[in-house]
Every structure is written in C-alpha cells, then in structure tokens.
Structure 1
C-alpha cells in the first residue's frame, strides 16, 4: 500500500480518472490501496463521497455510471496479463459493491494497463488478457496503440459519448456462467415468476458476463421506448421490477428471501425490459428509426434505468438472443446475422454474437461475443481523502 500524507488530516493516493465507454470511474493500482477489507471499503467510499446522493465531497458524479472504480494489478495466472476488480459506490447508500462486472469500465482496463506499464504495447493493436476477479472470467481487450501508449484518437463513435475515438474491442466469449457457472442457470429457457398480487411474468434468466433477468416490457405495463426518467419516476413499474428481480435473485441463490435482495444482492441480477424493434425518441430528443435496430432494451440496476446500456447487459442480451424461445429471441426478427443491434435510451449499440448449442442440451457455446467501446484518460494525479475515513474501517 502506498499512502502518503501531504497534510496532517488528509491521505493521498495515485489515481487515474477515465471515461470508459458510457461510464466514468477512478482507476487504481491494487498495490496503492489498503488491503481488501473494511479499510479499503472505507477508503473507496471516501473517494466517491458515498453518503451523499450528490457525492459532492468525492469524485462520484451523483449517478451510477459515474460512481465506478477499477482496481488493477499484474496477474499471477498463465492465461491473463492483469487482474481487475470492479467496484461501485452507489450514491447515498454508504456501501461498496463488488459482486458484478461492468463492461464499460472494463474497456478502460487495457489502456490503463498499457499506459501504466503493466502491459507492453505491441504492434498497432495490443491484446490485453484481463481476468475479472468479480466473476472469475477472462475477457480480452484489443487496444489500439501508438508510440508505446494506448491510442485515444480515432473515428469510432458510440451513442452516449460525444465525438469519436480509437476503437477498443472487448471479447466476452469466455464469460458464460459469470456468477452461476451456466448460461441458463435455472436450466430453463423461460421461467415463470409469480408476483404477490397474482400476476405471472414469463422471464428468461441468463448468465453471460453478468446474470440478467429479461422481461417483456409490455408484460409490466411498459413499451420499451421509455426514457430513463420515465422509468425512474414510475413507482408502480419500479415496484414490479424490484419484486421480479428479487424473486429471480432468490431463484439463483443470491439471497435468502426475495425481500432481502436489496441488501444481500443489490447489483445482481440486472433487469432488462425488452421489446421488438420500433421507432422512438431518445433521451437527447433525437429520432431513432425502427430499421436501425433489432430490438429495444431498457436496463434497470439499483432500481434506476441505465442512461444507455450496460456493456455486460448488452453481452447477456446478445447471448440470449441466440437461445431459441427465450424472451430476447422472441423479440428479435432475425437472430442469425452475427450482429445484434440494441436500441437503448441514447441510441443503438451493435454487438457481435455467434453461437452453437452443446449437443443434447439448450446450453450455448459462443464462437463470437463482443462489443467495441472507446476510452479516454481524463486525469492522472492523486486523490485526497480524510485520514479519519480510513480509521472508520479499522
């Protein structure tokens, strides 16, 4: 641990702030932080300003997509270059959650590893093998480089990020069963969740990159074209989603009772509302044409709608689009093109997916599963936290 004190009541630690995909987070070297445990958690909460919904006294930006952290170190594994742990400090909750991975923040791990000397830049594109400790799965980042550093400029654009940048391709084909060990953890393509008010929801529970529960938007009184604020302000819809998520978490063994999902498994599974392709107006007021997508998706995590689309959520959506009869597959007109175009609140995200079934089962094997992001370093320096914050974790 490399903590330094430049003032008697503050501690400083090296930190890199990066925009990765449609998220923003603080990137740390594992060796610079307290060891895993209460002291590290107290430190990370202080970094982000965990107690305040606005996170005004920390680096967090009051939104889930800006309250994220990546912790990176050299890997001892033969099949990986670096180990990466993802953490999120949800605004106002006073906790650090490590149970899942983030596809967008993952996009910054390769550039961070190259620029900080953990991985040597090689050729026009450097392959960085990343072992995600949260899920125990390997992902491969293909990072454009120039003069020994990750390249930033390029002509690749992603919805939700202004301008263009260098295209970083992430291969998620080895992330099947990230939490449960199986792409279809219940063994069923479609399960039925019975709500306490008597309603029954047909759902698909998939586990690729992160576990997700897929629900037809129309089955919960939605359209699939909602803007995030429309979902966030609908108490009845969120209550339904919260119960369905809790019962799916219980089915996966992530909580003792579904009512405890909020505390015992606040992050997983993610919930994805899906609908067929249809034109809509995105969160910026732009028209999104039906012909530009294969389906619509609205992802909910921590009881809020994602401003765009989580990378891991996109991976699981694409993976389930290949499973015949799944809720996702039912919403896609043609799942055989090798690409899935997902209409989300800020536009359309394209992911690559090709699969085949294990003979005699409904379990898929993915020959190709990945998506592209851009990333940019915003700041290199030291983050300061009150020394008293570390004492809280002792």
Structure 2
C-alpha cells in the first residue's frame, strides 16, 4: 500500500480528490494506474476506493504552481471511469474547477488575501484560462455562506468563475465544422467547441420531450444507441476522428424552457445523462443560444436588452443555472462567460492506495506539464 496526501472536495455539483501533481508519478501510465486504484475503478460501486459509483463523483483534480507566466495554478482534470479501468484527461471539468482555488489555498500553493482572493487558473487539458474569486478571511478559505446552487443541498460561500478564452478549446474553432448547423443521419445538429466540445440536438428530433428524467433517458437503450451514433459522426466532423473511446464531444438535448428560463437541456457524459449540468457545458450552451442559426438559438427564449451583456438561464434536471455572457464585440469567439458556484472541503488526510503493475505502451507515456 502507498499513502498520499489527499484533499476531498465538492466542487459545484461534482465531487472528488484534489491531489498535488508533485505527489503523483510523472509517467502517465503509472499515474493513471494509481488513480484507478485510488478511485476503485472497474466496479460499479467503486467499493474499494474513493469514487462514488457515478461519473459526477469519480473525478480527480491534479494541481500545481503554473508553468505559465499568465496563470497562478495549473489544473489537470482526470475523469476516472467507473466500470472501465480507464482515465480520460481529454476534457476540462468546470465543476471540479470550482474546488481548485480553495484547494490551492488549503495546500499552501496560494496565500489567502483578506476578504477575496483572486486566482487565475490554467486548465492544462484545454490550455485555457479561468479567473476565480475565493472568499477568504484570516488567511483561510471561507466555506459558509448564503449562496445556493441547484443540485447541491444547503448553502455555501459564492465562488465567481469567469472563462476568459474558452472558444475552440480543443479544436481551435468555436464552430469546428465551419457551420452553425449540420445534418447527421437526417437530424439537424450544432457542433460547438466552447469550454467543452458538444453536439447539440433538438430533443423532439429524437422523439423526446426534453423534460425526461436522467433515469428515464438512461433506460432507453434504443435512444442511447441512436444518440451515440450521432455523437460518433459528430466527432469525425469536428476533427477528432474515432471518439468511441473518448468522452468528447458531449451530446446534449435542447428543448423549450418550462420554468421561465432561456432553454431546457439534458446533458450526457457521454453515455449517461447528467443529473444536473456541467459548468463547461453551460458555457458552451449559453454561447450557442446567442449564435444565430444554431439549434440552441432556435429554441431559446432570449430577450436581449443589451447585446454585449446577456444573461442566459439554463434549465436542467436538478434546477437551473444562470450564465452571464460578456461580449465585447460582434464576434462570439470573444465571449467571456461567468457563473457563480460553490465548493466545500469534505476531508483532508492520507489516502491509501494499492500499487499496481503497469504494462507500458509507447503512446501512454506522458511527461505532462503539471508535474
């Protein structure tokens, strides 16, 4: 058994350990094998590890002082599969991102300021910058507060999160296909890369209302197979090639809002429906709502009072989230998107992990920048 310093955090509507890169193996294969055992991957309950048996609670944030002069902290996100022995570091995770700032202060990487501590984070997965503001007092993070976010019980201190350059995070283009909409298997879709690569589909085009529960959608095998077929073809259109072993692009159903919001969504991860909504997903979805010709803009109910500051309220299975878009000019690629979230420290101590033998493959070796 090997022990490692571990800080377990809730970030937004996700949960997972936040680890220092310096405490992990530099070799990617060894690191991934370690994370799989840490979380208990390969068992539906992850009973022999820290994972919670669901994608939202089988996540790891790896942090370190930034190697970029433009940021304070580097953050590498790892999605640890529950039933498969596999780690995916392709996407960012905006919910776990909310835990990075507090964790950086807790682990001594950032000195807390009085009242508010601003931190600029570089997401290593997508090489994008995010500004966060953490409530602090007497050199410590303040977790108690009156801010409620749907999908999380109770209230906590607010954390301001602003994505600065999220357009084209994985493909280099906001609209990777060059079009606001495309057709796949006769279905109109929008492929967008804004904080998270996604393929947006009207729920009605797949025979859904858009207000189904995640459990109802997850049980519909025929629907899931059709959704995956569209996702695979969208992945090729977006330049990713074969995405059968990747979690991007994420497929998302969009429909008319039912509770006074701008749009209603069902977000997939990609083979399970999210019980709320990924923060990165909310950034891309809100942006799509202001791009004329996208399937999201066609169903969204927006009342634009100011073309440069646009609030978008997205309804999801656990409630709603508001994203404020700040567009300095007419180019949607320049949009800055802000959300208010919360985080909480759950546990700090030592995690015990059974060491695993690793069979190296050439493509698995990675000297990543967060080490």
Query: What's the TM-score once normalised by structure 2's chain length?
Result: 0.93
2:244 aligned to 262, 269, 273, which one? 262
Highest RCO, 1 vs 2 (Cα 8 Å, sep ≥ 6): 2
Q: 1:351 maps to which residue?
A: 323
Q: Secondary structure at the match of 2:109?
A: coil
- CA displacement at 1:90 relative to structure 2: 1.3
Look up the match of 1:209: 195
**Runs ≥4 residues deviating over 4 A:** none
Whether the 8 Å CA contact 1:40–1:393 is kept in 2: the answer is no
Match for residue 151 of structure 2 among 160, 177, 190: 160
Match for residue 243 of structure 1 among 209, 212, 229? 229
**Rounded Cα–Cα distance in structure 2 between residues aligned with 1:328 and 1:233:** 25
Corresponding position of 1:129: 120
What's the counterpart of residue 5 of structure 1?
A: none
Distance apart, 1:207 and its partner CA: 0.6
- Cα pair 2:251 2:270 within 8 Å, conserved: no
1:381 alignment partner in structure 2:
349
| Matched residue SS, 1:365 | helix
2: CA distance, partners of 1:134 / 1:313: 15
Tell me, yes or no, if the aligned pair for 1:62 and 1:91 is still in contact at 8 Å. Answer: yes
Across the aligned residues of Structure 1 and Structure 2, the Cα RMSD in angstroms comes to 1.3
SS at 1:223 equivalent? coil
Please state how far the C-alpha of 1:37 moved relative to its aligned partner. Answer: 1.3
Three-state SS of the structure 2 residue aligned to 1:189 is coil
Q: CA contact under 8 A between 2:6 and 2:19: conserved in structure 1?
A: yes
Per the alignment, in what secondary structure is the counterpart of residue 126 of structure 1? strand
Aligned residue runs from structure 1 range 304-343, under 5 A:
304-334=272-302, 336=304, 338-343=310-315
Partner of 2:92: 101
Secondary structure of the 2:268 match is strand
Aligned counterparts, 1:1-394, within 5 A? 10-194=1-185, 200-256=186-242, 261-263=243-245, 266-278=246-258, 290-291=259-260, 293-334=261-302, 336=304, 338-355=310-327, 363-387=331-355, 389=356, 391-392=357-358
Cross-structure match for 2:366: none
Distance 2:122 2:358 in 1: 31
Distance 1:24 1:104, change over 3 A: same
TM-score w.r.t. length of structure 1: 0.88
